[in-house]
Chains A and B, each alone.
With several copies, the nearest count.
Chain A
Amino acid sequence: MSAWSRTELMAVVMARAFRDREVVVMGAVPALPLAACRLAKALHAPGLSYLVGGSGTVDPKPAALPSQSCDPELTGGPCTLPLHEVVLLEGRGDALDVFCAGGLQIDANGNCNLVCVGDHARPKLRGPGSVGLPFLSAVKRVVIYTMAHNPRTFVERVDFVSGAGDRAELVVTPLATMDFDGSHRMRLASVHPGVTAQEVVEATGFELAMPPSVPETPEPSREELETLRALDPEGLLRR
Chain B
Amino acid sequence: MTRFLDPAEAAAELVPAGSCVAVGGMHTTSAPMALVRELVRQEIRIGRLVTSPSTSIQADLLIGAGLVDELVAPYVGFEDLGLAPCFRRAVEQGTVRLLESDEGGLTHALYAGSAGIPFVPLPPGIEHSDIPASCPELYQQVDDPFTKERRWAVRALRPDVALIACAEADGEGNVAFGRPPFTDRVMALAARRLVVQVERLVSSEAIAEREPGTTLPAFLVSAVVVAPGGCLPTAAAGFYPRDEAALRDYLEAARS
Contacts and interface: CB of A to CB of B under 8 A. Distances in A.
Contacts of A57: 180
Contact of A92 (B123, B134, B213, B238): B123
Interface in A20-47: 21, 23, 28-29, 47
B27 A68 contact: yes
Contacts of B53: 83, 87, 131-132
A28 B75 contact: yes
B26 A55 contact: yes
B189 A89 contact: yes
Contact of A83 (B84, B94, B172, B181): B181
A79 B216 contact: yes
6 contacts: A69-B54, A69-B79, A82-B181, A87-B104, A93-B116, A164-B128
B92 to A, nearest CB: 5
Interface in B141-199: 170, 172, 174, 179-183, 185-186, 189, 192
Interface of A: 21, 23, 28-29, 47, 49, 51, 54-59, 67-70, 72, 75-85, 87-95, 114-115, 120, 122-138, 160-164, 166
Given A81-B217, A89-B114, A161 B76 contact: no
A160 B28 CA distance: 26
A87 B107 contact: yes
Contacts of A68: 27-28, 79-80, 242
Contacts of A84: 107, 111, 181-183, 185-186
Contacts of B182: 54-56, 70, 82-84
Contact of A160 (B107, B130, B241): B130
B180 A75 contact: yes
Contacts of B54: 28, 54, 69, 128, 131
Given A82-B185, A88-B111, A161 B213 contact: no
Centre residue among B102, B122, B134, B241 by max chain A CB count within 10 A: B102
B12 interface: no
B1 interface: yes
Nearest to B25: A70
Contacts of B180: 55-57, 70, 75, 80, 82-83
A126 B126 CA distance: 21
Contact of B104 (A128, A132, A161): A132
Interface of B: 1, 26-30, 52-54, 73-77, 79-80, 83-84, 87-88, 91-92, 94, 100-105, 107-108, 111, 113-117, 122-126, 128-131, 134, 170, 172, 174, 179-183, 185-186, 189, 192, 204, 207-208, 212-213, 215-220, 235, 237-238, 241-242
Contact of B92 (A49, A54, A123, A130): A123
Contact of A82 (B76, B88, B172, B212): B212
A82 B183 contact: yes
Nearest to B238: A72
Contact of A128 (B84, B102, B170): B84
Given A54-B26, A58-B219, A129 B76 contact: yes
B182 to A, nearest CB: 4
